[in-house]
A and B are shown apart, each in its own frame.
Chain A
Amino acid sequence: MAPGQDTMLRSAEMSMVQLYISNEIGREVATSLGELGLVAFRDLNSELSAFQRTFTQEIRRLDNVERQLRYFYTQIQKNDIPLRKFDVDNERLANPSTSEIDELAERCQTLEQRIFQLNDSYETLKKREVDLTEWRWVLREAGGFFDRAYDSVVEDIRTSTDNDDAPLLQDVEQHHTAADVERSFSGVNIGFVAGVIDRSRMAVFERSMWRSLRGNLFMNSSEIPEPLIDPATNDKVHKSVFVIFAHGREILAKIRKIAEALGANLYSVDENSDLRRDQVHEVNARLNDVQSVLRNTEQTLHAELAQISQALSAWMVLITKEKAVYDTLNNFSYDHSRRTLIAEGWAPTNDVNRIRATLQEVTNNAGLSVPSIINEIKTNKTPPTYIKTNKFTEAFQTIVNAYGTPTYSEFNPGIPTIVFFPFLFATMFGDIGHAIIMGLAALAMIYWEKPLKKVTFELFAMLYYGRYIALLMAVFSMFTGLMYNDIFSQSLTLWNSAWHWKVPDDYKEGQPLVAELNDSGYRYPFGLDWIWHGTENDLLFTNSYKMKLSIIFAYFHMTYSLILSYINARHFKKPIDIWGNFVPGMIFFQAIFGYLVGCIFYKWSVNWNDPTNPRQPPGLLNMLIFMFLQPGTLDIQFYPGQAGVQVFLLLLAVVQVPVLLFLKPFYLRWEHNKARAKGYRAIGERSRVSALDGDDEDGNGHAVGGRHSTESDGEGVAMLTQDLHGEEEHEEFEFSEHLIEQIIHTIEFCLNCVSHTASYLRLWALSLAHQQLSVVLWSMTLGPALGNTGVAGVIMLVFSFYLWFVLTIAILVLMEGTSAMLHSLRLSWVESFSKFAQFGGWPFTPFSFAATLEESEELKEFLC
């Protein structure tokens, strides 16, 4: 029998499939299965380390290519060349053959060498260029200093001629030439060192010079106005030129040593100005040469990289896919003697035929006479959970998956989440205005779905992912906003009020007024009567209303969830879960909270102010407390026979506790003993490949694995390769364990009935907070501004409107929305899911290129 259609109701039916593939087409098969993305392969070589596997060589080679591609990428980035990104959604790459991959690897090899060489020579040239530039600066700056020094020396000598104490020898020569002055430096044996140093090190340099030479030097420095480029890091560095004069050869050597230790570059400068001029010319000429060669090299490098940047992303994708293929092939078992690859994995039963067709196609294309075989095999392993989603349900399912993976074939908690999650959110976010803003944002994201998909900004991506959730939240919030009659904290007057003000004839403004109901029985038809808006006691009324609303929704939401546990028990064919868990639990819950909710509705339906029969309304909370503390006595009579009903309900609830506690463990023991008596062994002892049909009904220890019994379809019983039984262990039946488990479950259930119901009061608390916050915001900004007139009034109105609008979006929509969403999330996860879902499954992660490319962190920069 063909299995039914896979829906979101449960996990798709999964089969363990076994593939026999000829060794020659292993790679092609894995590639096309990767495109298909429907099989999750098991690791059949788990005892082998990564290095012992069959295709380690290939992977290592691909790793090398990947490293080369990364090298290109860093070079491209370093040179600011735009990278052409790969569009996974719209561009398809033909599956490459092995020789094409080889070609690519070779090409990468040569390209790497070429780029490396170009880079190398570029860097050498660059270094030379920087050196020459520095030298030029030194020549210019130091030369300038020498010229200044020359002027002052001449001056000095001129003044000295007037001095009687001046040496006679110099006195003789009245006319000095420049050459004489220059000679005067060498004459007194003063040497100098010139160079360039990092500006930030200048102070340190100066100080250490001063200290080590004990002030016995003359230092001059000047800053180079334009930043120089450090060839090693490509950063801009500010440097200074320095010239140090000192006396004595040793001292000069010392200066050189210190300067070099501090990272300064020293350059030779000639004292003689003519020679210096020649030096400058020479440096300039060499600089020009170097620069032109440099430009050529750079251009070649750029051209080369620009060419690579066109194809780099595609290459990267190819290599990543290829690596994924070999990684998968490494999970296959390789039969050396028969030269076949044997693969095992999980696949959706409904898609086995598609996989078969793909295999057939690949085999035919390869022209192989050996057919590839695909077998479905029966196993007692728990299949992975695979819930098919579409773009609408995907985000809702993510809410569930964030909590846990549903057990295989149990009721998918994602289905009720689609409505309950946004609706519970809406009860906390009830405001038409805020809902409209949210809805417009969601609609915009849905309308511009395709272009917005590319946005990588993380917060927005999250919002975008949940756009359909946001849409539903907004729609429901509009409805609850109508119910609460709140639009930006104001009210809508859609219908006539059921109330009218009782105005005395001598009414003075400021006098308290009380409204009166009409006599015709007319009530405000849709939502909260607008007359409550702005009254002194409206909080009193809405609090009572919203609290009761929370309790009633708690009751319905949890009853619904409890019923789902019945559906699960029936699906897994475990009647004991119905009679031992669901029925007593349900009675317990209904006897207490069902009764409370019934009383709430009854209290609403009674006219307590009926003039013919005026009665005092009872407080429901007190009633419930008295029901437990003093069963049989009443605070205020609510309805006739109330005491008896309450005692009965209380007894009914109390009786359920021992039923919950003992029925299931004792039943399991009885069943186990009966099976033993008939000669059956425990499940683990009779574990056989195809003998598992109908083990669902055992209700034995490994209840989680209960499977929908699959019909045998002929080829089902197949040989197994390896450790199919190895991982799953079956426990012996242990009565005490079951008993303890059930005791814990009972205590938890009974306490949770109370605490979870109370937990729903957050619906009231958050909606109250939201409404009050928007009232405060209105009265602080826009509200008072509306009362002003004139030019100042207009300015104030515009200003306060913007303030109000921005704060509304930031605080009331975004912040409050997030908080309401988190609370709603909790209500789904804890209060609802804990009632029925087991979350004992493991996710189905098929081998799929699409998923590989999407999840890969390394590929992020190459994809768009």
Chain B
Amino acid sequence: MAQGYSIFIGLLVIVVLSVAAWFLAPKSENQIIWRSSLILAFSCCYLMWAITFLAQLHPLIEPRRSDLRKEYLHS
């Protein structure tokens, strides 16, 4: 779980959701708003998640801190 290839799984999920949004949008004069808003929202959220995930995929720096208690580390 959550390996590097997850980024493509996520993409697939978003594509499926977007296609579903396209076809399931209620048919009315607001159809275009449903379609555009849902697909844009999915894309934005996916992009944000992908950026966050990719930024941590091959990190260049490691977390560092010196205020950890012994009990915490050995538990």
Residues of A participating in the B interface, judged by any CB pair closer than 8 Å: 5-9, 388, 390, 393, 415-416, 418-420, 423, 427, 476, 479-480, 483, 495, 498-499, 501, 503, 507, 509-517, 521-529, 531-532, 534-538, 540-541, 544-545, 548-549, 552-553, 556, 601, 604-609, 617
CA distance A513 to B62 in the complex (A): 10
Nearest chain A CB to B36 CB, angstrom units: 5
- Chain B residues whose CB sits within 8 angstroms of the CB of A549 once the complex forms: 48, 51-52, 55
Asked whether, in the complex, the Cβ of A499 is within 8 Å of the Cβ of B57, the reply is no
CA distance A569 to B36 in the complex (A): 20
Nearest chain A CB to B49 CB, angstrom units: 7
Nearest chain B CB to A611 CB, angstrom units: 13
Given known contacts A419-B44, A552-B51, is B57 in contact with A523 (CB within 8 Å)?
Answer: yes
Across the interface, name the chain B residue whose C-beta is closest to A422: B41
> Which residue of B3, B32, B52, B65 is within 8 Å of A513 (Cβ)?
B65
- Nearest first, the 5 A-B pairs at minimum CB distance are A525-B2, A419-B40, A512-B66, A604-B54, A535-B63
Across the interface, name the chain B residue whose C-beta is closest to A485: B52
- Chain B residues whose CB sits within 8 angstroms of the CB of A525 once the complex forms: 1-2, 6, 53
- Chain B residues whose CB sits within 8 angstroms of the CB of A5 once the complex forms: 29
Asked whether, in the complex, the Cβ of A479 is within 8 Å of the Cβ of B48, the reply is yes
CA distance A6 to B28 in the complex (A): 10
- Chain A residues whose CB sits within 8 angstroms of the CB of B40 once the complex forms: 416, 418-420
CA distance A427 to B60 in the complex (A): 23
Given known contacts A9-B32, A479-B45, A525-B1, is B73 in contact with A545 (CB within 8 Å)?
Answer: no
- Chain A residues whose CB sits within 8 angstroms of the CB of B57 once the complex forms: 523, 604-605
Asked whether, in the complex, the Cβ of A415 is within 8 Å of the Cβ of B33, the reply is yes
Asked whether, in the complex, the Cβ of B2 is within 8 Å of the Cβ of A524, the reply is yes
Nearest chain A CB to B61 CB, angstrom units: 6
CA distance A134 to B2 in the complex (A): 93
CA distance A609 to B1 in the complex (A): 22
CA distance A228 to B1 in the complex (A): 87
Nearest chain A CB to B33 CB, angstrom units: 6
Given known contacts A415-B33, A512-B65, is B51 in contact with A498 (CB within 8 Å)?
Answer: no
Asked whether, in the complex, the Cβ of A545 is within 8 Å of the Cβ of B51, the reply is yes
Nearest chain B CB to A20 CB, angstrom units: 32
CA distance A537 to B59 in the complex (A): 13
- Chain B residues whose CB sits within 8 angstroms of the CB of A6 once the complex forms: 29
Nearest chain B CB to A516 CB, angstrom units: 7
Asked whether, in the complex, the Cβ of A415 is within 8 Å of the Cβ of B48, the reply is no
Given known contacts A7-B30, A420-B40, A480-B48, is B68 in contact with A501 (CB within 8 Å)?
Answer: yes
The tally of residues in B whose CB lies under 8 Å from a CB in A reads 41
> Which residue of B33, B52, B60, B73 is within 8 Å of A501 (Cβ)?
B73
Across the interface, name the chain A residue whose C-beta is closest to B65: A535
Asked whether, in the complex, the Cβ of A418 is within 8 Å of the Cβ of B33, the reply is yes
Asked whether, in the complex, the Cβ of B30 is within 8 Å of the Cβ of A499, the reply is no
Q: Which of B4, B31, B48, B60 is most buried by chain A, counting CB atoms within 10 A of its CB? A: B48
Additional 11 contacts, C-beta under 8 A, given A513-B66, A516-B62: A479-B45, A501-B73, A523-B3, A523-B53, A525-B6, A531-B63, A534-B65, A541-B61, A605-B58, A606-B58, A608-B58
CA distance A604 to B6 in the complex (A): 14
> Which residue of A416, A495, A528 is within 8 Å of B36 (Cβ)?
A416
CA distance A294 to B45 in the complex (A): 75
Across the interface, name the chain B residue whose C-beta is closest to A390: B30
- Chain B residues whose CB sits within 8 angstroms of the CB of A534 once the complex forms: 65, 67
CA distance A442 to B41 in the complex (A): 19
> Which residue of B4, B37, B67, B69 is within 8 Å of A419 (Cβ)?
B37
Asked whether, in the complex, the Cβ of B65 is within 8 Å of the Cβ of A423, the reply is no
CA distance A420 to B48 in the complex (A): 13
Across the interface, name the chain A residue whose C-beta is closest to B54: A604
Nearest chain A CB to B51 CB, angstrom units: 5
Within 8 Å of chain A (Cβ to Cβ): is B21?
Answer: no
Residues of B participating in the A interface, judged by any CB pair closer than 8 Å: 1-4, 6, 29-33, 36-37, 40-41, 44-45, 47-49, 51-70, 73-74
Asked whether, in the complex, the Cβ of A536 is within 8 Å of the Cβ of B56, the reply is no
Nearest chain A CB to B26 CB, angstrom units: 13
Given known contacts A483-B49, A605-B54, is B33 in contact with A522 (CB within 8 Å)?
Answer: no
Asked whether, in the complex, the Cβ of A483 is within 8 Å of the Cβ of B2, the reply is no
> Which residue of B29, B62, B64, B66 is within 8 Å of A388 (Cβ)?
B29
Asked whether, in the complex, the Cβ of A552 is within 8 Å of the Cβ of B47, the reply is yes
CA distance A427 to B52 in the complex (A): 12
CA distance A537 to B63 in the complex (A): 6
Asked whether, in the complex, the Cβ of B58 is within 8 Å of the Cβ of A548, the reply is no
- Chain B residues whose CB sits within 8 angstroms of the CB of A552 once the complex forms: 47, 51
What are 21 A-B residue pairs whose CB atoms fall within 8 Å in the complex? Answer: A8-B29, A393-B30, A415-B33, A416-B36, A476-B45, A499-B62, A510-B66, A511-B66, A512-B64, A513-B65, A515-B62, A516-B62, A517-B62, A521-B4, A522-B2, A526-B49, A532-B63, A549-B55, A601-B54, A604-B58, A617-B60
- Chain B residues whose CB sits within 8 angstroms of the CB of A527 once the complex forms: 49, 52
Asked whether, in the complex, the Cβ of A393 is within 8 Å of the Cβ of B33, the reply is yes
CA distance A535 to B59 in the complex (A): 15
Nearest chain A CB to B4 CB, angstrom units: 7
- Chain A residues whose CB sits within 8 angstroms of the CB of B44 once the complex forms: 419-420, 423, 476
Asked whether, in the complex, the Cβ of A515 is within 8 Å of the Cβ of B2, the reply is no
- Chain A residues whose CB sits within 8 angstroms of the CB of B51 once the complex forms: 545, 548-549, 552
Nearest chain A CB to B43 CB, angstrom units: 8
- Chain A residues whose CB sits within 8 angstroms of the CB of B66 once the complex forms: 510-513, 536
CA distance A531 to B74 in the complex (A): 16
Nearest chain B CB to A790 CB, angstrom units: 22
Across the interface, name the chain A residue whose C-beta is closest to B48: A483
- Chain A residues whose CB sits within 8 angstroms of the CB of B49 once the complex forms: 483, 526-527
CA distance A531 to B52 in the complex (A): 14
Nearest chain A CB to B22 CB, angstrom units: 15
> Which residue of A8, A415, A517, A521 is within 8 Å of B59 (Cβ)?
A517
- Chain B residues whose CB sits within 8 angstroms of the CB of A393 once the complex forms: 30, 33
Given known contacts A416-B36, A423-B44, A604-B58, is B3 in contact with A522 (CB within 8 Å)?
Answer: yes
Across the interface, name the chain B residue whose C-beta is closest to A511: B66
- Chain A residues whose CB sits within 8 angstroms of the CB of B60 once the complex forms: 608-609, 617
Asked whether, in the complex, the Cβ of B65 is within 8 Å of the Cβ of A536, the reply is yes
CA distance A419 to B43 in the complex (A): 10
Asked whether, in the complex, the Cβ of B56 is within 8 Å of the Cβ of A524, the reply is yes
CA distance A522 to B2 in the complex (A): 6
Nearest chain B CB to A416 CB, angstrom units: 7
- Chain B residues whose CB sits within 8 angstroms of the CB of A499 once the complex forms: 62-63
Asked whether, in the complex, the Cβ of A513 is within 8 Å of the Cβ of B55, the reply is no
Asked whether, in the complex, the Cβ of A507 is within 8 Å of the Cβ of B48, the reply is no
Nearest chain A CB to B1 CB, angstrom units: 7
Asked whether, in the complex, the Cβ of A514 is within 8 Å of the Cβ of B62, the reply is yes
CA distance A415 to B31 in the complex (A): 12
- Chain A residues whose CB sits within 8 angstroms of the CB of B56 once the complex forms: 498, 523-524, 528-529
CA distance A528 to B1 in the complex (A): 16
- Chain B residues whose CB sits within 8 angstroms of the CB of A503 once the complex forms: 73-74
Nearest chain A CB to B17 CB, angstrom units: 14
- Chain B residues whose CB sits within 8 angstroms of the CB of A607 once the complex forms: 58
CA distance A548 to B54 in the complex (A): 11
- Chain A residues whose CB sits within 8 angstroms of the CB of B53 once the complex forms: 523-525
Across the interface, name the chain B residue whose C-beta is closest to A423: B44
CA distance A423 to B68 in the complex (A): 36
Asked whether, in the complex, the Cβ of B63 is within 8 Å of the Cβ of A427, the reply is no
Across the interface, name the chain A residue whose C-beta is closest to B71: A509
- Chain A residues whose CB sits within 8 angstroms of the CB of B47 once the complex forms: 552-553, 556
Asked whether, in the complex, the Cβ of A523 is within 8 Å of the Cβ of B73, the reply is no
CA distance A416 to B44 in the complex (A): 12
Nearest chain A CB to B34 CB, angstrom units: 10
Nearest chain B CB to A473 CB, angstrom units: 12
Asked whether, in the complex, the Cβ of A523 is within 8 Å of the Cβ of B64, the reply is no
Given known contacts A5-B29, A8-B30, is B36 in contact with A609 (CB within 8 Å)?
Answer: no
Asked whether, in the complex, the Cβ of B36 is within 8 Å of the Cβ of A536, the reply is no
CA distance A499 to B63 in the complex (A): 8
- Chain B residues whose CB sits within 8 angstroms of the CB of A513 once the complex forms: 64-66, 68
CA distance A553 to B51 in the complex (A): 10
Given known contacts A5-B29, A545-B55, A617-B60, is B37 in contact with A418 (CB within 8 Å)?
Answer: yes
